[in-house]
Amino acid sequence: MNVYVEKSGFIEVIAGGMFSGKTEELIRRVKRAKIAKQKIMAFKPAMDTRYDDNDIVSHSNAYFKAQPLSNIKDIYHHDIDDLDVVGIDEAQFFSNDIIDVVNDLANQGKRVIIAGLDLDYMGRPFGPIPYLMAVAEYVTKVQAICTVCGNPASRSFRMISSDELVVLGAKAQYEPRCRLHFSTDNKGDKNEG
């Protein structure tokens, strides 16, 4: 007699500032799932072409094959039915539709692993990440190292002048900062409102 047992899906969020190892941890988790012979597919925003047009690539050059998406709902255009694990990098760049999408995937029994910035360059909650953290079964907050004092850094200090919310970049545009050195150098009214 065969007994069918439904598997329970769940959501994992890896959040933190730039250079904190979010993407590296996402890649580590999906590679371990691959070693366990699970069916995996990874996705990233099409706008993120910093290191590669398709693959998820960390600042330390670790990578995992991915599918770029212009809209998170385009995930349904891929063959996801038989997947065990879905990885999503740079989730802060997707619309709030990602919340319903990842809940749907988890409700289908999939493990959904999400990485993203929890705070924007002004130190405010960034896009859908706070909501994803609220609905996730597991949340991992990772820290970088403050470039000023060496303490744990939870914020991304923008070193170039721009009022745009999204400015793609790496070490030339951003550096990790602790709370003290982020607020000390982020003068003016940028943190208000």
Q: How far apart are CA 184 and CA 36, in angstroms?
A: 46
Catalytic residue among 24, 90, 175, 192: 90
Q: How far apart are CA 143 and CA 15, in angstroms?
A: 9
Q: How far is CA 7 from CA 19, 100, 106, 139, in A?
A: 34, 19, 10, 20
Sign of CA dihedral 61, 64, 68, 74: negative
176: phi > 0 → left, psi -120 to 50 → alpha, else beta; which?
A: beta
Q: How far apart are CA 80 and CA 77, in angstroms?
A: 8
Q: How far apart are CA 85 and CA 41, in angstroms?
A: 7
Q: Which 8-state DSSP code applies to residue 124? A: S
Q: Which 8-state DSSP code applies to residue 98? A: H
Q: Residue 137 catalytic?
A: no
Smallest Cα–Cα separation from 64: which of 23, 121, 106? 23
- The residues that are catalytic are 90
